[in-house]
Structure 1
Amino acid sequence: MTTPTPRTWLITGTSTGLGRLITEQLLARGDRVAATLRKPEQLDELKAQYGKQLWIARLDITDTDALPVTVERAFAELGRIDVIVSNAGYGLFGAAEELSPAQIRHQLDTNVIGSIELIRAVLPHLRTQGGGRILQVSSEGGQIAYPNFSLYHASKWAIEGFVESVAQEVAPFDIGFTLIEPGPTYTNFASGLVRATPMAVYDKTPAGDVRRALAAGNFGLFSDGAKVAQAIIESVDVFPAPKRRVYGSGAWRRIHDAYHERLNALEEQEEVARSTDMEK
């Protein structure tokens, strides 16, 4: 078994969840990690263990002024960075009518604008160094949707569209993109959800069903967080960069079924679609 060539990674949102797991696994195998998070002290234990192998910077991904400065400093101090993991984000939970304008804005500022600005900030550096890989953490929720996660889904579907476009723009510079689409995973995602104040009118609706399932711990957690982190790391060894990687048997099945449903519906519309063409 060959030992992987050490790489340097820049990862956002490394305090908990997949970001933390990926960071720990990379450090353990000898890679360098530039880790950003809002509270750097949460990585004190790892810093004490790994020293200069771990570079840490305070960053709130919604601070679009600080973000490019932090990226610039990381490349200046570390030199080449091989892989960017755009991981920072969270989930907003509640029926659309229950959400406040401030909650909606923060969800999109974090998961969409923050991710977009991170990618825009790293692209000039990756072009200059002759390439690199960007992993954008999305979700099975970038392909399908559940009640009570409308704004979370809006953020993931949005960033997937952005990545699909930008990947085509920068492919000539040997910059590869992969959308990471895990299903429900044993991390602390559920505990990190921001929850809207529930309205009683939704108690006997699908939104109420999902709320009760989540509260009871019956939302169907199928994936092991450490295994998902390992698989994400291994995706970087695949060339060319896979456009998407789905993790979890439940996620695979639900996305698979959704694709079939959409394709069947699309094929039924062919005659109507062609009927609207201009006459030659």
Structure 2
Amino acid sequence: MKIAVIGATGTIGKAVVTQLAVRHDVIEVGNSSGQYQVDITDIKSVERLFGQIGKVDAIVSTAGSAHFGPLQELTPEKFQIGLRDKLMGQINLALVAQHHLNDSGSITLTSGSLSHEPVLQGVNASTVNSALDGFVRAAAIELKRGIRINIVSPTVLQESLATYGSFFYGVEAVPASRVALAYSRSVEGAQTGEVYRIWK
């Protein structure tokens, strides 16, 4: 298959590329590096990306960020970080990709365990992850031409503990290589509308 991985230079993205590249033609897309670049918050940029890479059999998104901070200090501007980037950025990818996938292609997005297991200072991330899970379940019943859509919901990565570990005390971290298996299952399997939870 011809697979575009958006966020290919990130921790999860690199693991997904490693997992899929042994069997498929993987196109690595990043925000500022990779074979191609895209700003997922700008739908025109997303449209240009697909104009460049052409038809594909699958897209995988491991891109997007959210805001972490105390509820008492949240502002609409801070809340927009996750809504604009991780939520709408990935929705932009799905909306455009549906028209550029081959028949029976697939879309795989990324949410996270905070949708169901919130942590202190993670309100923005919990909201965004829950919304993404809902988008995928709803989109799955409307996509045409046999196109599938799933989402991977990982807990904190072992490789990311230095950055995010203080938000996840008591939570068992998982390696990116294990999380990458769920993306393989989504791309190379047959399910749709699934939330693959990799929490422990």
Tell me the TM-score normalized by structure 1: 0.65
The question of 1:69 aligning with 2:48 is answered yes
The residue type equivalent to 1:230 in the other structure is: L
1:31 aligned partner, one-letter code: H
Cα pair 2:150 2:193 within 8 Å, conserved = yes
Distance 1:174 1:92, change over 3 A: same
Counterpart of 2:24 in structure 1: which amino acid? Answer: D
Equivalent residue number for residue 25 of structure 1:
19
Match of 2:62 among 87, 91, 96: 87
Give yes or no for the alignment of 1:57 onto 2:36: yes
1:105 to 80, 93, 107: 80
Q: Which amino acid aligns with 1:120?
A: L
CA contact (8 A) 1:136 1:180 kept: yes
2:94 maps to which of 119, 129, 133:
119
Identity of aligned residues (%): 22
Structure with the greater alpha carbon radius of gyration: 1
Q: Larger deviation: 101-110 or 173-182?
A: 101-110
Alignment partners' CA distance in 1, 2:89 and 2:177: 25
Structure-to-structure mapping, 1:1-280, within 5 angstroms: 7-27=1-21, 29-40=22-33, 43=34, 56-75=35-54, 79=55, 81-126=56-101, 129-170=102-143, 172-188=144-160, 191=163, 214=166, 218-241=169-192, 243-249=194-200
> 8 Å contact 1:18–1:187 — kept in the other structure?
no
Q: CA deviation at 1:218?
A: 3.4
3-state SS of 2:52 partner:
helix
Query: Residues 59 and 237 (structure 1 numbering): CA distance in 2 closer, same or farther, change over 3 Å?
Result: closer
**TM-superposed deviation, 1:18:** 0.6
Q: Describe the SS at the equivalent of 1:130.
A: strand
Deviation at 1:143?
2.8
Contact 1:15/1:39 (CA < 8 Å) preserved in 2?
Answer: no
8 A contact 2:136–2:149 mirrored in 1: yes
2: distance between equivalents of 1:227 and 1:142? 20
In the alignment, residue 144 of structure 1 is paired with which amino acid?
A: E
* CA–CA separation in structure 2 for the residues paired with 1:189 and 1:60: 26
The structure richer in helix per residue is 1
RMSD: 2.2
Runs of 4+ in structure 1 over 3 Å off: none
The 2-side partners of 1:226 and 1:115 are apart by: 22
Query: Contact (CA 8 Å) 2:152, 2:182: kept in 1 or not?
Result: no
Q: CA deviation at 1:60?
A: 2.0
Q: How many residues align?
A: 200
2:171 is paired with a residue of what secondary structure? coil
Identify unmatched segments of 5+ residues in structure 1: 1-6, 44-55, 194-212, 250-280
Contact 1:90 / 1:189 at 8 angstroms: preserved in 2?
A: no
Question: Tell me, which stretches of 5 or more residues in structure 2 are unaligned?
Answer: none
Deviation of 1:232 after TM superposition, in Å, equals 2.2
